Chain A
Amino acid sequence: MAGQTLIPAGDFRTSYAVDTTVFPTNTGRNAMIIGIGLICFAPYVLTSYWLSILIQIGIFGIAALGLNIVVGFTGQISIGHAAFFGFGAFTSAYLSNRFGIPVFFCIPLAGVVTAGVGLIFGLPAARLKGLYLAIATLAAQYILLDFFARAEWFTGGSVPASAEPFSIFGYSLRGDRKYFYVVLVYVVICYLLVTNLMRSRDGRALVAVRDHYLSAEIMGINLTKYRTLSFGLAAFFAGVGGALYAHYNQVVSNEGFGIERSIIFLAMIIIGGIGSVMGTLMGTAFMVLLPESMEWLSAALSGSAIDHALGLKNNIAFLREMAIGVIIIAFLIFEPDGLAHRWRQIKAYWKLYPFSH
């Protein structure tokens, strides 16, 4: 897909249409269409538990996509992403409660408002790089968190705000089954938008800023504009994801938007593959399923022989947190390019069998 910037020898593009295509092969495109078609049947086949897992993967996938724009494609760093996610959630709840705007419009509106906030906090990005930018985004995280806790007119203060279920022109969609389709539509649209961004002029400018900002500036790319733009775009997707999250839970409390959530977003794109759109979704799925599988493992372990041998008892909950950290470190050491790279290797293995390198 568009993530590959090096075209190998022998791969000739014979027309502009072929060069700018989203899917390099027909198989890829067909597989994607069939996959989306199959997923549409998920609410009727899966239990509500798995449905909620898929919805979470979709919601966090959109937010992680935003982070991948700023970290993966523009080469900057943002450890305040969860604050924008929360801002989108609170904005959507506020717009639907205070102004009575149907939730259908609140979600994109929340994305736009969050993009504005993201542009403001992205202004330091124009001048700062590396560690200094990381601290500036950390400041954004805490400023927004404090704002959520204090601005009672906006968030209700410390009391969780309530958000309405998804509705369009009075017809409200209740329940996870129907909400799944809302999230699916948003995921498809957002991922197509970002893939399209990456093959457009602005997307290539962002990649140029990442790869060698000095050359990019010499070529005439306005660094300030593109660095700030990437923050704005990241905040837009975070806001949309946050709004979907708010209307899914129907309660927005400012606890889920701390630095831990920001680190989890970073882990999602690192594990999935920095700079890869498909990798974002894979990394999100991995990070959402990781605590669940740790819970199964700890539930299976508790009371068993291993539990008694190690004397774990109540501390199995901490085992879970430790396991999440260990897995992130393991990925950084053994698979720094993420699951997307591993998937490409698997495809290459089968494609070149038995001549894999």
Chain B
Amino acid sequence: MTMKTLLGTASLALLLGTIAGTAQAQIALGHLADYSGATSDVGTPFGQGVADTFAYVNKNGGVNGKPVNVDTVDYGYQVPRAIAQYKKWSGGDKVAAILGWGTADTEALTGFLAEDKIPDISGSYAAALSDPTGAGGKAKPAPYNFFYGPSYSDALRGMLTWAADDWKAKGKPGKPKFVHMGANHPYPNAPKAAGAAIAAELGFDVLEPIVFALTPGDYSAQCLTLKSSGANYAYLGNTAGSNISVLNACKAAGVDVQFMGNVWGMDENAAKAAGAAADGVVFPLRTAVAWGGSAPGMKLVQDISKMSDTAGTAYRPVHYVAGVCTALYMKEAVEWAAKNGGATGENVKKGFYQKADWVPAGMEGVCNPSTWTEKDHRPTLKVDIYRMKVSGATDASVADLVKNGTIKLEKVKTVDLPRKADWLGW
């Protein structure tokens, strides 16, 4: 190929790209997704849920009749790339809001978001993002950060409350032992302090944390440490992908521990991959039902899913449904803002305070009622604890396994934590 044709095609491609980009005046939203990085195993379904929701919204008239332009960027779970992308979005024509993802980058961006007044609803549930005024004293003020679901710390508090009762119900003598397992990274470290504090309060023996990386690997060493420490309850702070490695290694090492995951720690795909090792893992669910559950709102989720799966046969993991809820909360906040002074960042932030016990339209029975206020960005303190039951070989497809009951999400308990002011922000 000669230089001329190369240059010609390159400039043509650039031209086509710019033409495609400059569409009519729209509401612009930024969407950070992890499709290729350390948390891509859970980032892909969540990001897909967000993207499909806005595709569905645009197909059905957009927001107040105007289409929403969502710029999805895969930043590979790397903070510098997220910051570079944020600089692009907060430049000349700012985006109205951002649908964020990871803990490290969202925590790094809190200051910028507050200065540029761009709200960010993230896939990170770090409690440090839930204190808008800094009144709790433990976290930096994050007035423009939101998330849908219980924070990592509150979810761990809920699970430890259940664990304390579970220990007594089993009639075991003495103090139960609790250990925090996770990578040395802001996302698994987020609830460490809160978990240790409430575990000590509830009468647990808090052991030294065990570190294992966010990427899948050989964690037999960590399992042997776990076994020799005699822990009874272990919190898995990483996403499903690396948790599977730990579950498999610990099952092979014969470790008898009740594993408790975070919201990203377990899902149906992970259950299929880990098989029997995933049986019995306890973790919180952000939505009232999983895919295919009986709720009036599940129909809307299935319609949204058809935006990327026209055949309607894909099985969507729990993270997809949570992504749909997150995106719909953002959509309704933007809608409120557009009706009340224009879709600017400040108005979208106010849009998040529009209702108490808010469920997006059409999602009854799926999204849990959430309340954000000026002083408290914890949307809910209700932790729905589920147990993953795997009762056989997991060779078939996830859809079939769920249909014939080999993989089942069994509800264990709903823990209603008190909305304590001194729990805000950590």
Task: Tell me the A residues contacting B by CB distance below 8 Å.
Answer: 47-49, 52, 149-150, 157-160, 162, 176, 249-251, 253, 255-256, 296-297, 299-301, 304, 314, 317-318
Contacts and interface: CB of A to CB of B under 8 A. Distances in A.
Q: Interface size class for chain B?
A: 20 to 34
16 contacts: A48-B91, A52-B88, A149-B184, A150-B184, A157-B184, A158-B184, A162-B108, A255-B80, A299-B17, A300-B14, A300-B20, A304-B16, A317-B35, A317-B36, A317-B74, A318-B36
Scoring B36, B79, B111 by chain A CB atoms within 10 A of each residue's CB, the highest score goes to: B79
A308 to B, nearest CB: 15
A256 B14 contact: no
Interface in B42-77: 74, 76
Given A48-B92, A158-B184, A162-B111, A251 B83 contact: yes
Contacts of A249: 80, 83
A76 B5 CA distance: 40
B189 interface: yes
Contacts of A251: 79, 83, 108
B87 A253 contact: no
**DSSP majority for the B interface?**
helix
Contacts of A159: 104, 107, 186, 189
Contacts of B17: 296-297, 299-300
A158 B17 CA distance: 38
B84 interface: yes
Given A159-B107, A176-B87, 4 more contacts: A48-B87, A255-B80, A255-B104, A300-B20
In the A-B complex, list the 6 residue pairs whose CB atoms are closest, starting with the nearest: A300-B17, A48-B91, A253-B79, A256-B80, A251-B108, A300-B13
Contacts of A149: 184
Interface of B: 10, 13-14, 16-17, 20-21, 35-36, 74, 76, 78-80, 83-84, 87-88, 91-92, 104, 107-108, 111-112, 183-186, 189
A255 B92 contact: no
A265 to B, nearest CB: 15
A227 B122 CA distance: 49
A299 B76 CA distance: 16
B398 to A, nearest CB: 19
Nearest to B83: A249
**DSSP majority for the A interface?**
helix
Contacts of A314: 35
Contacts of A300: 13-14, 16-17, 20
A52 B87 contact: yes
A174 to B, nearest CB: 9
A176 B87 CA distance: 10
Contact of A253 (B20, B104, B184): B104
A157 B211 CA distance: 14
A241 to B, nearest CB: 14
Scoring A49, A160, A318 by chain B CB atoms within 10 A of each residue's CB, the highest score goes to: A160
A162 B13 CA distance: 39
A196 B275 CA distance: 65
A269 B278 CA distance: 49
A158 B189 contact: yes
A47 B91 contact: yes
A160 to B, nearest CB: 5
A88 to B, nearest CB: 15
A253 B13 contact: no
B35 A253 contact: no
A284 to B, nearest CB: 16
A318 B74 CA distance: 11
A346 B20 CA distance: 36
B91 A253 contact: no
A150 B104 CA distance: 16
A52 B84 contact: yes
Contacts of A304: 16
Contact of A296 (B14, B76, B111, B184): B14
Contact of B79 (A150, A160, A299): A160
A41 B36 CA distance: 39
B111 A250 contact: yes
A158 B83 contact: no
Given A160-B107, A296-B14, A297-B13, A256 B186 contact: no
B228 to A, nearest CB: 23
